[in-house]
Amino acid sequence: MNSRRLRDRYRHLLIALPLAFACSDVDLAAADDEPSLSASTDELPLPNLTSEKIDGGAGLGLTVYEGGNKSGPPVVFIHGFTGSYLSWEPQLSGSLAAQFRVVVYDLRGHGASDKPLDPANYTEGSLWADDLAAVIRAKHLDRPVLVGWSYGGYVISDYLRKYGDGAIGGLVFVAAVTKNGTAEAAGFLTDDALAVFGDVFSADVQKSIDGTRALTRMFASPLRGTLWERAYGSAMMVPPAVRAAMFNRVLDNDDVLARIRVPTLVIHGADDRVVRVSAANHIAATVPGAKLLVYDHVGHAVQLDAPQRFERDLAAFVRATRRNQR
């Protein structure tokens, strides 16, 4: 089946969700064999983090983690669909944490945060905005830099739509998406991703497991050992009803992006198997003055696939934004 036919066949999954709240039962072929765990299976050093539970939008409980240099500029990391705070593990335990105050939280429906099954908890953008605002407020963050990976691009956009960028120091979109629920939005996703989303959203146990395994294997090239185990484990903690509800909304945030006035960096992997580079090009072209970095030979989870380069670029960006604020 050629690329165009494959895209047309599965694009409806992400377009139809906002119109009819039902999961696809398409029986997709299993992906390649499970990734080898023979390489780099040693446990990664866990960061020295503190955690607390706070009230997010509509009182939903969010688990927030903090670490790093308490006197450094604050950076808030926002993970993606089916992720958790562990999506940023290299950044929480390395040189980046030595320079900056790092704050991470599990999105609603993810990780150790509350997971109510009512779709209304995930379909309203103001709730996602209120979650992020609650984190900033609870931690008393002064003009933090927001770093959003993948679905984190939606969350940043939700926040900006409701609160604007007046309290923000800078923005970093990492392999991010800002549109959903239309043919244009589906065009920013790869054929590989479209082909597994039906199973990822399914309430059928086997399909959910197989689809999630296939999706998390697309995050990096390759994502192996402990990093893959944690990505897969975090994903399986997200209930199918939550997964489907997260994409049951039509989003076009071009108007929000065009109003951004704070420094903005867009980072994307050239070998991303989930979100096309065209999504990064679109964000960078829409946000006034945005800078675009495309990493060769890097996949969707840029922060895991190329952590050292990512941390160097992020650190330079945060320092520059801080200097400009003085």
Instruction: Evaluate whether residue 186 is within a structural domain.
Output: yes
pLDDT at 200: 97
319: number of Cβ within 10 Å: 14
pLDDT at 322: 87
Rounded Cα distance between 74 and 318, Å, is 9
Instruction: Evaluate whether residue 215 is within a structural domain.
Output: yes
What is the identity of the amino acid at 224? R
Lookup: tokens for 216: 């998390």
Instruction: Evaluate whether residue 200 is within a structural domain.
Output: yes
Instruction: Evaluate whether residue 127 is within a structural domain.
Output: yes
pTM: 0.89
Instruction: Evaluate whether residue 29 is within a structural domain.
Output: no
Please give the residue range of the domain that contains residue 150: 3-19+43-325
Lookup: tokens for 290: 């945005």
Task: Please check whether residue 126 is in contact with residue 134, taking contact to mean a CB–CB distance below 8 angstroms.
Answer: no
Rounded Cα distance between 91 and 311, Å, is 7
pLDDT at 22: 36
Return phi, psi of residue 161, to 5°.
-65, -35
When pLDDT is cut at 50, 70 and 90, the band that residue 228 belongs to is: confident
Question: Quick one: how far is CA 184 from the chain centroid?
Answer: 20
Rounded Cα distance between 63 and 112, Å, is 6
pLDDT at 47: 56
pLDDT in tens, 73-87: 999 999 999 999 999
By DSSP bridging, strand 74-78 and strand 50-55 are: unpaired
* 152 backbone φψ class: left, alpha, beta (φ>0; ψ -120 to 50): alpha
pLDDT in tens, 102-119: 999 999 999 999 999 999
Domain holding 309: CATH number?
3.40.50.1820
| pLDDT surpassing 90 at residue 310 | yes
Q: How many domains are contained in the chain?
A: 1
